[in-house]
């Protein structure tokens, strides 16, 4: 699928760099390439959303109560999505690969170690976001960016490295089982989901045009984006203006570059 229109101005592919998928120039019919590519696409949704936070934060004045609250709420939903992903990887995915795929023992342990490296920084970010939303602290964009700087480097390293460790499962020659474990992982993630936070966050940052639109991600029945847009998104309605795509995976102009956004950001 190619984009309907190019987003205007700076977009959510910076400052943190999006990942190339292993399937960019290799066949997705290979189960390990499919699974590793799927993981890269998931990580890219996290990166686009974080980029949007990073780009919008300094443009919002502390006194702009409505917009700062909406951004903090978006931050809270982002933390929920990333936490769900890492918890499910630790609880199920990595151990299932290691236990059920002969030859996979030890291959993925480094990913869990890396989770430790950004854990404290991410927890500090979450704590600030929660307490600012609870009215215990005021919105301070410099502090918000500093907190992101406190975990972004190990987090990006981890997002990159996990793809190459998953590709190492190719050496086991057990592609079918790798796919089976991954399918179970997908079911577990959906079961644990707090849909109102992570549903819109995922859809609004999953660019279906990425790498020429060759990836079917996220795969879901056709009615689901409608359900998420018109029903599920209501609880955190103010947050979703910071998304980088529409509910159908088409990149959109970032809020800061729209007329509506420019007007809202000009409020002191
Ligand atoms: Fe991951």
Distance 257 CA to ligand 1 centre (A): 30
Distance 242 CA to ligand 1 centre (A): 23
* pLDDT single digits (tens) 226-259: 999 999 999 999 999 999 999 999 999 999 999 9
Contact between 121 and 147 under an 8 Å Cβ cutoff? The reply is yes
* pLDDT single digits (tens) 86-134: 988 888 888 888 888 888 888 888 888 888 899 999 999 999 999 999 9
**For residue 267, is pLDDT > 90?**
no
pLDDT at 109: 83
Distance 122 CA to ligand 1 centre (A): 15
Paired residues of 251 in beta bridges: 245
Distance 87 CA to ligand 1 centre (A): 10
Distance 160 CA to ligand 1 centre (A): 9
Nearest to 203 by CA among 191, 189, 192, 219: 219
Q: In which band, very low, low, confident or very high, does the pLDDT at 171 lie, cut at 50, 70 and 90?
A: confident
Nearest to 149 by CA among 50, 244, 66, 81: 50
User: To which residue do tokens 């109102």 refer?
Assistant: 196
Q: What sections of the chain are H helices per DSSP? A: 31-56, 65-88, 94-100, 109-133, 141-167, 175-191, 195-203, 210-213, 224-230, 259-265
**For residue 1, is pLDDT > 60?**
no
Distance 268 CA to ligand 1 centre (A): 39
Report the residue count for the chain.
268
The residue with greater pLDDT, 195 or 42, is 42
**Mean of all residue pLDDT scores within the chain:** 92
CA distance 5 to 68: 28
Question: What is the phi/psi pair of residue 245, to 5°?
Answer: -135, 170
Distance 139 CA to ligand 1 centre (A): 30
pLDDT at 268: 67
The sign of the CA dihedral 100, 104, 106, 107 is: negative
Tokens linked to 72: 């903090």
147: number of Cβ within 10 Å: 20
Tokens linked to 163: 């793809």
Distance 82 CA to ligand 1 centre (A): 9
pLDDT at 23: 93
pLDDT at 192: 64
User: To which residue do tokens 């990887």 refer?
Assistant: 89
Domain ranges of the chain: 29-265
What does the DSSP 8-state code read for residue 134?
T
Distance 55 CA to ligand 1 centre (A): 23
């Amino acid at each position: 699928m190619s984009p309907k229109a190019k987003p205007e101005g700076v977009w959510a592919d910076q400052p943190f760099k999006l990942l190339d998928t292993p399937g960019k120039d290799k066949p997705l019919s290979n189960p390990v390439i499919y699974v590793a590519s799927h993981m890269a696409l998931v990580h890219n949704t996290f990166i686009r959303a974080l980029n949007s936070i990073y780009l919008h934060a300094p443009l919002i004045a502390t006194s702009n109560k409505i917009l700062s609250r909406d951004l903090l709420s978006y931050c809270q939903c982002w933390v929920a999505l990333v936490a769900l992903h890492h918890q499910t990887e630790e609880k199920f995915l990595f151990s299932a690969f290691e236990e059920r795929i002969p030859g996979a023992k030890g291959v993925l342990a480094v990913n869990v170690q890396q989770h430790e490296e950004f854990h404290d920084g991410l927890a500090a970010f979450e704590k600030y976001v929660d307490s600012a939303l609870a009215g215990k602290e005021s919105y301070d964009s410099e502090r918000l960016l500093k907190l992101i700087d406190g975990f972004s480097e190990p987090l990006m390293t981890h997002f990159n490295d996990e793809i190459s460790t998953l590709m190492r499962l190719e050496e086991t020659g057990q592609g079918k089982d790798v796919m089976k474990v991954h399918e179970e992982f997908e079911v577990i993630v959906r079961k644990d989901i707090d849909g109102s936070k992570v549903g819109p966050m995922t859809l609004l940052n999953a660019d279906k045009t990425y790498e020429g639109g060759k990836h079917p991600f996220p795969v879901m029945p056709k009615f689901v984006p409608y359900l998420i847009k018109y029903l599920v998104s209501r609880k955190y309605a103010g947050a979703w203006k910071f998304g980088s795509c529409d509910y159908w995976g088409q990149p959109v102009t970032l809020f800061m570059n729209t007329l509506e956004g420019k007007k809202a950001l000009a409020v002191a």
